[in-house]
Structure 1
């Protein structure tokens, strides 16, 4: 692509029961910083779909609940089909500060990074004051440290739900074979590192409130174990001990046609 040609930016929203927060989320996005917003609804029983259509979003729905990771898969497939050069994942729960989207996409547009994450944690005081539960803060710190050591990265946080990808990342990684649950996110990071993409992050203020999506303590524990499993597969594949299919390149069948 010509470096002077405007790149198409598509925001994707994996949604589940987001009726109460969707309008505020969309209205908080700066005008002119995107070309299209795609919302994929994962069998919500509220009016998420109707609200999204009223807001003029491109809406896709699942007939059965696919899970957080499964929902993202369709988000990315549809964004690539729409010709997106840069894909922003923004949760429709109004938790992340959407005003910073142009800042994050700038890193990818300029080629500084291929994959950007919004880091919710800068200092312990700031994270806890913002409403992050203590158990989540502690587990986040520990898992991020382990991820950085294993993957050779220096991320402030490896578990953020705010992400910006260049299309080549999602065209290279066989993400359709990833987990359908929350561990999908960690798998994508490990896959991006394995395939040599440049990762970066920057501070992203967040809000914790009753309507914001969250993960329970039990699910957090399972998530942590699955991350460790993913990192184990990364080590085994990197050192050619036992190759995991998680790190294969997307085949012609996996790739999304434009």
Structure 2
């Protein structure tokens, strides 16, 4: 019999948490709440609702909460993660775990946008999510429609591949990068979302900026061609065009100063340096991965 655990990282989620736990218990053998340093009654509500509670003395971040939760659920066959702010519907758990149960996936990503724009998502949120989706897909090499979803399912075999180095909200993108790095099979299933009961404690703008900065760091390390070579190529082309224009103006007397030409030449050199930096770092990265694969 497949053993299923539902994991809810929670920070000051006393309002909606009890309902989420009770509804999740219909589909799980165990519901685990990680109270990440809450200052309200999150722990009390979770215990009264019948959840197993792990308590962090201070707020460490979602990544740290997931790390604690995954450790507590390591003996389960499938782990489902759900945000505790009532945006997700626990009744969709059977749909999310089905691909794993049928052997079609190692990881399932619940997506709000498989069929396009979700009408419940505020415009400002979707714009930011699109930016994060694009950056995460570049970093991981995946092609997902909702990279920031907190509603996911994981097989027990997949757990060992997650680093949980990112302690904050960037963990969603980091886990997808780990999935791609390990060659795990991931599929998306459609889920709904509610924002009329938004109990989220995170500011969407600061949250988005922090996640984007984390993703850019991942791209710098894992996709140097995107981080250095492509921007460098754009700068180089722009610099060459400006050099031709300014040099032509100087030679034919339209300009009496050499300054703009010098600046455009320096821009071209800087762009060229970035291009070759990306190529060299990409070669080093590929060699490193090949050596790791040989060792394994």
Establish whether residue 232 from structure 1 lines up as the match of residue 226 from structure 2: no
Structure number with the bigger relative contact order (C-alpha 8 A, sep ≥ 6) is 1
Asked if structure 1 preserves the Cα contact closer than 8 Å seen for 2:21 and 2:51, the reply is no
Match of residue 192, structure 1, among 179, 186, 191: 179
Once the two structures are TM-superposed, the CA of residue 146 in structure 1 deviates from its matched residue by 3.8
Once the two structures are TM-superposed, the CA of residue 239 in structure 1 deviates from its matched residue by 4.7
Q: Which moved more, 1:143-152 or 1:111-120?
A: 143-152
Higher helix share: 2
Match of residue 100, structure 1, among 68, 92, 99: 92
1:224-254 deviations in whole A, cap 9, x for unaligned? Answer: 1211221332235x95524899xx99xxxxx
2:168 maps to: 181
Match of residue 145, structure 2, among 138, 149, 156: 156
Establish whether residue 143 from structure 1 lines up as the match of residue 186 from structure 2: no
Q: Which moved more, 1:210-219 or 1:50-59?
A: 210-219
Q: Which moved more, 1:165-174 or 1:178-187?
A: 165-174
Which sections of structure 2, spanning at least 5 residues, go unmatched? 225-280
Once the two structures are TM-superposed, the CA of residue 161 in structure 1 deviates from its matched residue by 0.8
Asked if structure 2 preserves the Cα contact closer than 8 Å seen for 1:115 and 1:199, the reply is yes
Distance 1:101 1:87 in 2: 11
Which sections of structure 1, spanning at least 5 residues, go unmatched? 1-5, 250-258
Match of residue 66, structure 2, among 61, 72, 80: 72
Query: Aligned-pair RMSD on alpha carbons?
Result: 2.5
Indicate how the Cα distance of structure 1 residues 187 and 240 shifts in structure 2: closer, same or farther if over 3 A, else same. Answer: farther
Between Structure 1 and Structure 2, whose CA radius of gyration is higher? 2
1:47-99 deviations in whole A, cap 9, x for unaligned? Answer: 1111111111111101122111111110111111xx11110001121110111
| Number of residue equivalences | 234
Distance 1:41 1:30 in 2: 18
Structure 1 residue matching 2:73: 3-state secondary structure: helix
2:18 maps to: 23
